[in-house]
Amino acid sequence: MNDSNEYDVIVVGGGNAALCAALSAREQGAKVLILERAPEPERGGNSSYTEMIRFVYNGVDDIRALCPDLTEAEVAMSDFGSYTEEQFFDDMARTTQYRTDPDLCEIMVKNSNATMHWLRKNGVRFLPYFGKQAYKINGIFRFFGGVILELWGGGEGLIAALYKKAAETDVDLRYGAWVRDLIYTDSRVCGVVVDLNGQLTTIRAKAVVLACGGFEANPEWRARYLGRGWDLVKVRGTKYNTGDGLEMAMRIGASPYGHWSGCHAVSWERYASEFGDLPTTPSFWRHSYPFSIMINAQGKRFLDEGADLRNYTYAKYGQMVLEQPGHYAYQIFDAKVLPLLREEYKKKHVTKVQAHSLEELADKLDDVDRDQLLGTIREYNAAVKTTNPFRPDIKDGRCTTGLAIPKSNWANTVDTPPFEAYAVTCAITFTYGGLRITKEAQVLNTNLEAISGLFAAGEMVGGLFYFNYPGGTGLTSGAVFGQIAGKSAARFASGHGKTD
């Protein structure tokens, strides 16, 4: 590859958003190049670490269309319900404290169903998420939290399918291609400078799509934008999302947008690796906390474990763990709820303490204030109100009374051995701050004028998420705006798109 190479569209990045942009541009007839910073075994960015996707659907017929292998027996034992545009809008508004950009949110929500079918057409397969998004109640699987489907083969299956389609449609691809700068001349972006095997190379293009992630893997930027202590957290996904695309765009005047001091962060295995590792990362999730009590080093509860369904709290509770002394906590369960624990609690790479009495448990948790822990559990048990029956699939209203920090749902006494405690810390998934884009995914400068030839998708889009996040929406955003960015970039390259 040398300076004489020229493409219609260059896509920077190699995850879900980037691949959707490349395939969409190719559908428009553009000559497309994907530049993926990671080597092939680590391709896919954070998308390789995902599992589920949120979208609007009207009932079982929508699910059947996306999962043609679904059997009659599986349909008969499932209550899929529906998830309307109104519910999606409500979830986005509520979790972002009504700050989500209304135009971008509307585009994402209204295009979510069609984008699922577009992904299916491009080789991505789905199946009902029986394992982690449903509970069997009276013989029927009841799904919760607005997420019904998982990716066949997980995130790696998604990425494999999209790369396969890219190869079939003659999209060019370079791995280990670290894009270092945009070529910006005559007030337009017309290519990139890329490090290929240690050599800087210029590649020209009529349009560039940036889809290379946020800055979650950059500890210096995390401390700068997210605040004190964020340089210490684990990174759930790829080590390659270090903010390069954001930095190069802002160097030419791109407008930062959204919640730059906010991020998606979860409770995570305390002794997990620094970055994501595809073989072991599935063991690090700790998302059965709604059925636990979570205590810190002082032996105190510090959050409402049952404030909402997991899908609407897990992305913000990581920060609350980070704020605790020593940046760790324990999730404590008793025998009544142990059968409900997700599969990752039973895998390797789990820091677990088991005991046959609360006193024994307190003794074994030698980095927790023993007396305060036992006092906290006694106080909590006395406050549990058992009027409502326990239902894991809905907000059951089974709560505590009189506590400074309540538990609003799924409150069960912690009194039946054996007891298990799992050590967790904070891990970051992705950052919420990004670039300001138009409805066509074209990047705006700080004068709020479109930057000619520059488009963005995925984590790089600012303005969608603030404070919190409805689970499974990141893939939706990446696919929807990736498809839009690719189409817009191809139209721009052909001379039919906006030039100002």
pTM, full prediction: 0.96
With 0-12 / 13-18 / 19 or more C-beta atoms within 10 angstroms meaning exposed / middle / buried, residue 389 is exposed
The Cα 74–Cα 130 span in angstroms is 10
Token readout for 59 is 């009932």
Closest CA to 279 of 38, 41, 36: 41
Q: How many whole angstroms from its chain centre is CA 182? A: 27
CB 175 within 8 A of CB 40: yes
Domains of the chain: 6-216+432-493 (3.50.50.60), 265-427 (3.90.700.10)
Grouping H, G, I as helix, E, B as strand and the rest as coil, residue 388 is coil
Closest CA to 478 of 499, 492, 459, 493: 459
Closest CA to 146 of 95, 60, 84, 78: 84
pLDDT values of the chain reduced to their tens digit, one per residue, 500 residues = 334 478 999 999 999 999 999 999 999 999 999 999 999 999 999 999 999 999 999 999 999 999 999 999 999 999 999 999 999 999 999 999 999 999 999 999 999 999 999 999 999 999 999 988 999 999 999 999 999 999 999 999 999 999 999 999 999 999 999 999 999 999 999 999 999 989 999 999 999 999 999 999 999 999 999 999 999 999 999 999 999 999 999 999 999 999 999 999 999 999 999 999 999 999 999 999 999 999 999 999 999 999 999 999 999 999 999 999 999 999 999 999 999 999 999 998 999 999 999 999 999 999 999 999 999 999 999 999 999 999 999 999 999 999 999 999 999 999 999 999 999 999 999 999 999 999 999 999 999 999 999 999 999 999 999 999 999 999 999 999 999 999 999 999 999 765 44
With 0-12 / 13-18 / 19 or more C-beta atoms within 10 angstroms meaning exposed / middle / buried, residue 81 is middle
